[in-house]
Amino acid sequence: MNDRTAYAFGLFGREDDLRIIGAVLESGGSALALGDPGVGKSSLLKVAGQLAQRHGRRVLSVSPTPFEQGLPFAGLAELISQVPDGMDRELPEPQRRALAVALQRAEPDGPEADPLAVPLAVRGLLHQLCAREPVAVVIDDLQWMDHPSQGSLGFAMRRLPVEPERLSVLVGARPEGGARDLMRSLPEPRHDLALAPLDEWAIGQLLRKRFGPRWTPLLSAGGRAGQRGEPVLGLDDRRGNAGWRPNLGCGPFPAASRCCRCRRASPTCYASAPSSWGTKARAVFACSWPPLGASP
């Protein structure tokens, strides 16, 4: 893994984090990327998943949503669906059956299973899989994973009798998001990546990639100050952006402004040009508009 890896994957300014992720993919262990919404956790984990495949690891990935948080075993079902068919045949029958019932693959047909049966089954499956090939488990937005899935995975990871290099776990979560038990169960060595806002150079590169070369360092500096470091800035140019100038100031920044296109709330920047210019710029948070590569 060298300094150009991040750039080659379309990421700017995450070289140090990717270097650590590379080490985890090489030797096992875990990396936990913590950061506020929009700072770039999902982007980093997406690249991490691609790198894991390049390292020859089987990737099991899941990105829970707030909706799934209330659905028992939703996260686990997503992960187990990526395990090759038939591997559960080698599990002891009560565990195989308990897992099948928990994942809605079989009707319950007797007394309720022991609460330990599902965590043991998950550990058994992960054990078999790691014995067969190196594995990377990638969990984005851990804060939204349902509790039963967290509990089973935490149990399985804490007690997995495999060589450390056979398992890499890469996780993204919001700092205040909970899931502390699972975080504490992540395999050692565990690396905490506190994702800082992108630096000025990285934001400049990102803006140029999205909007073309007219984005100057001066503008990106304004963008960064205005966005508290969230990297995405968009232009509302429905009235044309002929008046767009690089010396546009940023601020003040309403705490709950909305993206002008996707309408999502975002704790971002609002920058306005004099109305005579007919141009307004607003921070766009996690919004895919304009398409990558479009120029102003």
Ligand X SMILES: Nc1ncnc2c1ncn2[C@@H]1O[C@H](COP(=O)(O)OP(=O)(O)O)[C@@H](O)[C@H]1O
Tell me the closest approach of the beta carbon of residue 288 to Mg ion, in angstroms: 13
In the complex with ligand X, the residue whose CB is nearer, 20 or 113, is: 20
The span of 8-16, 53-61, 77-85, 128-136 binding ligand X (CB under 6 A) equals: 8-16
Tell me the closest approach of the beta carbon of residue 64 to Mg ion, in angstroms: 11
Query: What 3 state SS string does 79-98 have?
Result: HHCCCCCCHHHHCCHHHHHH
Contact residue for ligand X among 59, 206, 248, 260 (CB under 6 A)? 206
What part of residues 268-287 is at the interface with ligand X (CB under 6 A)?
286
Token digits for 207?
A: 């803006």
Whole-number Å distance between alpha carbons of 128 and 130 = 6
Tell me the closest approach of the beta carbon of residue 253 to ligand X, in angstroms: 17
CB 50 within 8 A of CB 9: yes
In the complex with ligand X, the residue whose CB is nearer, 191 or 209, is: 209
250, exposed or middle or buried, with CB in 10 Å at 0-12, 13-18, 19+? buried
Site track for ligand X across 31-60, x = CB under 6 A: ----x-xxxxxxx-----------------
Of 30, 35, 25, 48, the closest CA to residue 190 belongs to 30
Q: Count residues contacting ligand X (CB under 6 A)?
A: 17
What part of residues 169-198 is at the interface with ligand X (CB under 6 A)?
198
Sheet containing 280-283: order of strands: 233-236, 280-283, 270-272
Give the footprint of ligand X on this chain (CB under 6 A): 11-14, 35, 37-43, 198, 206, 231-232, 286
